[in-house]
Amino acid sequence: MDIPINFLMWGLACLPILTLLVLMIKFQWGATDAAPIGLIITVLTGVIFYKADIKLIASESAKGIWNALTILLIVFTAVLMYQVGLEAKAFSVIRNGMRKLLPNELLLVLTMGWIFESFLQGITGFGVPVAVGAPLLIGIGVKPMWAVIIPLIGQSWGNTFGTLGAAWDALAMTTGLTAQSPEYLKTAFFTAAFIWFWNIIEGFVICWFYGKGKAIKKGFPAVICISMIQGGGELLLTQINTTIACFVPACISLIAVLLLSRTKAYNSEWCVKDSQIINRDFSESSSDDSPKNMKLIDAFVPYILLSVITLVVLVIPPVFNFFSQFKLALSFPETVTGYGFVNAAEPKFSPISPFTHASMFLFISSILGLLYYKKRKWLKQGSTKAIFMRAVFMTMPSGLAVIGLIIMSKIMAGTGQTIVLANGIANVLGGVYVILSPFVGMLGSFMTGSNMSSNILFSGFQNATANLLNVDPSVILGAQSSGASVGSAISPSNIILGTTTAQILGSEGKILKKIMVINVPVVIMIGLIAFAIVNL
């Protein structure tokens, strides 16, 4: 690669991302409006300054559309599940039933916004916890904007070892780590340790959102207990089996919260009356909206089905091996920029296994849930068509934004702008680069919406940089993936999943601003801890 790494080229590579941040945070643009501007700048920069030709731009755009399809399938099927529950008035039952089961409102919010999302992230990932979690939180009375913010934060700790370790496997594959080797286990240890730090902060942040100091005091025992199970359990299991390192602790935390609800601290009604995240008018006016003969377990049928189907397909090897053999992929030729930056030919680019994809689990669960509600007479005649039509109309506006953002990230990577961003930081900072190593991971997941994609993009670079700086690669790679995990909460494409199902599309800038003030300091702290470790 002969791309000159200087301030001009680095600044030009930053320009699309800075434009997105300014438009969304400063001017409060929605992602649907900001994405095309960022995309245009990326294309112009790539063609004029990074010497990309039309063939390369077209190829990377097609790759972006293909990748966006997988996200849009999740958006549509998650919206479909939401519409099924909405039409059957299941969310009213969930609200009333969960309030009886968990009378402490803070514990209820932690359960629906952190613990349940962690479980979904453990088995599905790909934004499903956000898309599914937002309407569930709205169902218990959380204001729509906070119903998006809370699951974005709550699920993010599980990004690396969640989805049965997909993002971790990508890091190991990219850097050549052999499973169960000393280097593999050491890297997994540091990654899980940094993530545990973020996990415990998540719990206290959600408490702060709910009721500030009063809620932190009340929620302290619960947060410590759940974080010991989630973060501590994940740390322990990474030394045994990385595939289940997130999933098993997430399952145990679901049981733990039910036990906590029986303790003296949480078994009676408690709430912060003036909580900024709760819509008291909503809670009071909707109290008798639920079908009289629908029980809590009936209302949760689509989500129970989602969990069971996902577990059966992904966890049982013969079932997974059978269904995963069916793959769809596109072929792309090699492309090269004028600077000699090569994108290798892809005979099977980003293959999709339709029968093991999260959207298939969501779709089947939605249809089975719909049939169940119909059989029990909770859906009116002709409601099926209305459910599907509303799901399509809710998905369409977010589709343009998702496609634009993913194409932008692919063109940035394909023209060399992404690698120039990372190299520029490393070249200028030298040994101090360790502090910003998690920022590189965050940058990757911000751009792509995926911890796995961030690890694929940057793990090799981080590993090489660690060796050049003569520091322990396991620490740097741990900072990379934990930074990507934290960054998944601020990815515009992930935020769109929540704003779509919460029906507040266009609020992405406000949400991004509120989360960034939490996530950026956390990434700085992870970097400082990593710097201290490598200099011990």
pLDDT on residue 1: 62
393 contacts 500 by C-beta, under 8 angstroms? no
Strands 335-336 and 328-332: unpaired
Is 104 strand, coil or helix?
strand
pLDDT on residue 421: 85
Can you tell me the distance from the alpha carbon of 343 to that of 63, in angstroms, rounded to the nearest whole number?
12
pLDDT on residue 254: 92
Percent of the chain as helix, strand, coil, to the nearest 5: 75, 5, 20
pLDDT on residue 285: 43
* Nearest alpha carbon to residue 461 among 485, 488, 479: 479
| Per-residue DSSP letter, 295 | -
Can you tell me the distance from the alpha carbon of 113 to that of 101, in angstroms, rounded to the nearest whole number?
16
pLDDT on residue 128: 84
Sequence-distant (6+) residues with CB within 8 A of 25 are 509, 512, 513, 516
Can you tell me the distance from the alpha carbon of 267 to that of 277, in angstroms, rounded to the nearest whole number?
22
Can you tell me the distance from the alpha carbon of 235 to that of 182, in angstroms, rounded to the nearest whole number?
15
| Per-residue DSSP letter, 379 | S
Can you tell me the distance from the alpha carbon of 443 to that of 163, in angstroms, rounded to the nearest whole number?
21
Burial of 178-214, coded b for 16+ CB within 10 Å and e otherwise, reads: eeeeebbbbbbbbbbbbbbbbbbbbbbbbbbbbbeee
Give how far Cα 495 sits from Cα of 156, 205, 396, Å: 12, 18, 15
* Nearest alpha carbon to residue 340 among 4, 57, 16: 4
Residues in the chain, pLDDT under 50: 283-287
Report which secondary-structure segment, H or E, holds 461: helix 451-468
pLDDT on residue 284: 46
Can you tell me the distance from the alpha carbon of 324 to that of 20, in angstroms, rounded to the nearest whole number?
36
Residues in the chain: 536
Question: Quick count: other Cβ atoms within 10 Å of Cβ 159?
Answer: 32
pLDDT on residue 288: 55
Can you tell me the distance from the alpha carbon of 13 to that of 417, in angstroms, rounded to the nearest whole number?
5
pLDDT on residue 289: 65
pTM of the model: 0.87
The residue behind tokens 């973060």 is 231
Quick one: tokens of 486? 């934290």
Is 366 strand, coil or helix?
helix
CA atoms within 13 A on the CB side of 52: 28
